[in-house]
């Protein structure tokens, strides 16, 4: 199999607003990221994915870009960016950045010009439609119609919030501008892009009416607006114009691509280096995307989803694996539900986090960690909507109330799923504001920061942080198996146990066993050298491996 730096590298996602504030305004900044590079280096990180830092009115925390060539003042300026890129490079850490190319902010000058003058060439950059009636009944991801009226009989289209008008990729001049932006950043020294919402760029079915799905008469755009026929032409052109011949990586947020079609996206001549799969990250949600509609799922199902994803990707190319990101709730809460770190018991938190970590670092694909995952952060209890910032959470709260939930129920669903759970400021220390900022942070700090913070975990040798450090080291030391080896499920009857082998072309296999349940069990397992285990040494009884509650081991065979 072809080798590439991005297959072997460990990624770390940074949400700049919440990582580290250095200028005392309560908002994280680029200097803060720079200050914390040594922490990331020590953890073993090879590249950062930095979420949007461009100038933006921040209706969606930077996923509404007003200028792709400027840094938002709250994060610093271009000099800070240059310094960050330079310092990271000197430390051997690459940087990939988020590219939001499905839409801009309504404040982008293209959109402003388009609004001012119907004759402007920028009208073509967006999707304006003349119609007496709303042109179609697609529902935007953040609620309400995808169509927003602008003047008598004129509408524009937005997949997300109304402050995020969609770009019209059919317009060649717009595509040229997009390629210019990508090349500008590559020339500046970034090592690649995370492509936001990229499977929405081609419009098709959502421009026409579809079967209404609810009281509002709308139909979810996520059902009908993704991966539309013809999208490949745009994506191939983008690759040709910006990426071919460069040693850059691309990871696409690509919901809506069926496994059978993955080859086009991540095969040898695929559009991207890898894609994120949402199948198991969204296991807790019923179809339809409403947070009040939670899915009843089991560990057996989680296992099926993980292996279906792993096997499809393995057949067709390369994938990205993750358990958390800035749009997800914390994995402890998602996967252990009411047993999540048993409400503050640090030992349980250690076991649960390291079990998930062992699973993640055992899987095939480039591993992405999300800030705070290496500390075993949990969801943050939000008392009311006043404590929330996220546009999506506020919309979901409204949807729950409209669907007949009580306020308490709606708040519970939002607490379970809110994107703000993962966006709370990073707990660096047990001091005021968790050492994140001198000033009151823009979003509530998780109240457990005194007992769970980076400084404390750095000092304790048996912390979650040190375990993650070890997992990263192991993955690098055993790259023939853990990076390039094939993955093969080790099927077993125990519902709560996820187990698989990583088989290199040459050399010993590695077996991974992860018990996600809170009960001990015995499983059939060949004996071998224990590479890591969250209880210390693995324990065998005759021919069987004992898996204690939340125990995870990697065994070299």
Positions touching ligand NOJ (CB under 6 A) are 60, 63, 100, 160, 196-197, 253, 326-327
Q: Residue 25 has which token pair?
A: 């305004």
Annotated catalytic residue, options 253, 264, 282, 416: 253
CB of 372 to ligand NOJ, least distance (A): 16
Spatial separation of the C-alpha atoms in residues 556 and 543, rounded to whole Å: 16
Residue 362, Cβ density class (10 Å: 0-12 exposed, 13-18 middle, ≥19 buried):
buried
What one-character DSSP code corresponds to residue 243?
Answer: I
Q: Give 251 or 510: the residue with its C-beta nearer to ligand NOJ.
A: 251
CB of 114 to ligand NOJ, least distance (A): 19
Q: Residue 241 has which token pair?
A: 């114009």
Q: Give 63 or 500: the residue with its C-beta nearer to ligand NOJ.
A: 63
Active site residue 460: no
CB of 197 to ligand NOJ, least distance (A): 4
Strands (E) across 82-126 are located at 94-100
Backbone angles phi, psi at 433, to 5 degrees: 50, 30
Spatial separation of the C-alpha atoms in residues 401 and 382, rounded to whole Å: 17
Helix axes 391-402, 407-417, angle to 10 degrees: 140
Q: Give 253 or 277: the residue with its C-beta nearer to ligand NOJ.
A: 253
Annotated catalytic residue, options 196, 223, 373, 374: 196
Give the chain's end-to-end CA distance (angstroms, integer): 23
Q: Is 147 helix (H, G, I), strand (E, B) or coil?
A: strand
Q: Give 199 or 453: the residue with its C-beta nearer to ligand NOJ.
A: 199
Q: Identify which of 253, 256, 254 has the alpha carbon closest to the alpha carbon of residue 222.
A: 256
Pinpoint the alpha helices (H) of 287-345. Answer: 299-316, 331-336
Active site residue 72: no
The CB density around residue 98, as the number of other CB atoms within 10 Å, is 22
Q: Give 380 or 510: the residue with its C-beta nearer to ligand NOJ.
A: 380
Q: Which residue is nearest to ligand NOJ (CB)?
A: 63
Q: Give 395 or 448: the residue with its C-beta nearer to ligand NOJ.
A: 395
The CB density around residue 344, as the number of other CB atoms within 10 Å, is 11
User: Within its chain, how far is the Cα of 13 from the centroid?
Assistant: 8
B/e letters for 436-452, b = 16+ CB within 10 Å, e = fewer, are: bbeeebbbbbbebbeeb
CB of 196 to ligand NOJ, least distance (A): 5
CB of 101 to ligand NOJ, least distance (A): 10
Q: Give 63 or 110: the residue with its C-beta nearer to ligand NOJ.
A: 63
Spatial separation of the C-alpha atoms in residues 376 and 332, rounded to whole Å: 7
> Which residues carry out catalysis?
196, 253
């Amino acid at each position: 199999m072809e080798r590439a730096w991005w297959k072997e590298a460990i990624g770390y996602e940074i949400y700049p607003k919440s990582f580290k504030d250095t200028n005392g305004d309560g908002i994280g900044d680029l200097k803060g990221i720079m200050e914390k590079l040594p922490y990331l280096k020590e953890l073993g990180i090879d590249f950062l994915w930095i979420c949007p830092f461009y100038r933006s009115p921040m209706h969606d925390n930077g996923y509404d870009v007003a200028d792709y060539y400027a840094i938002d003042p709250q994060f610093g300026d271009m000099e800070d960016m240059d310094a960050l890129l330079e310092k990271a490079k000197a430390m051997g850490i690459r940087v990939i950045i988020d590219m939001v190319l499905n839409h801009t902010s309504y404040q982008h000058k293209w959109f402003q010009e388009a609004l001012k003058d119907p004759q402007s060439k920028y009208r073509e950059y967006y999707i304006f439609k003349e119609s007496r009636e709303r042109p179609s009944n697609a529902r935007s991801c953040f609620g309400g119609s995808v169509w927003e009226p602008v003047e008598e009989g004129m509408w524009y289209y937005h997949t997300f919030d109304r402050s995020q008008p969609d770009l019209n990729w059919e317009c060649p001049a717009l595509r040229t501008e997009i390629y210019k932006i990508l090349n500008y950043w590559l020339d500046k020294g970034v090592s690649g892009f995370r492509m936001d919402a990229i499977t929405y760029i081609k419009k098709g079915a959502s421009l026409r009416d579809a079967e209404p799905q609810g009281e509002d008469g709308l139909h979810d755009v996520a059902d009908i607006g993704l991966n539309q026929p013809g999208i490949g032409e745009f994506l191939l052109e983008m690759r040709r114009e910006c990426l071919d011949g460069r040693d850059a990586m691309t990871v696409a947020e690509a919901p809506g691509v069926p496994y059978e079609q993955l080859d086009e996206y991540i095969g040898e001549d695929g559009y991207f280096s890898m894609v994120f799969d949402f199948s198991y990250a969204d296991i807790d949600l019923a179809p339809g995307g409403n947070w009040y509609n939670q899915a009843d799922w089991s560990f057996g199902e989680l296992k099926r989803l993980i292996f279906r994803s792993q096997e499809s990707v393995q057949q067709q190319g390369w994938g990205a694996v993750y358990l958390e990101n800035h749009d997800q709730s914390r994995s402890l809460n998602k996967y252990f539900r009411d047993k999540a770190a048993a409400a503050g018991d640090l030992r349980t938190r250690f076991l649960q986090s390291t079990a998930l970590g062992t699973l993640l670092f055992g899987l095939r694909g480039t591993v992405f960690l999300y800030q705070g995952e290496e500390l075993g952060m949990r969801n943050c209890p939000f008392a009311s909507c006043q404590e929330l910032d996220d546009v999506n959470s506020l919309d979901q709260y409204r949807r729950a109330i409209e669907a007949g939930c009580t306020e308490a129920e709606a708040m519970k669903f939002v607490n379970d799923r809110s994107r703000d759970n993962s966006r709370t400021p990073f707990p660096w220390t047990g001091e005021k504001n968790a050492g994140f900022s001198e000033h009151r942070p823009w979003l509530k700090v998780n109240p457990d920061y005194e007992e769970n913070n980076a400084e404390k975990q750095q000092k304790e040798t048996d912390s979650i942080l040190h375990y993650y450090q070890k997992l990263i080291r192991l993955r690098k030391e055993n790259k023939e198996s853990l990076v390039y080896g094939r993955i093969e499920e080790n099927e077993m009857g125990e519902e709560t146990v996820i187990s698989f082998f990583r088989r290199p072309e040459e050399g010993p296999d590695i077996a991974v066993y992860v018990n996600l349940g809170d009960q001990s069990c015995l499983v059939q397992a060949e004996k071998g050298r224990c590479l890591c285990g969250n209880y210390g040494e693995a324990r065998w009884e005759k021919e069987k491996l004992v898996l204690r509650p939340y125990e995870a081991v990697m065994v070299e065979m």
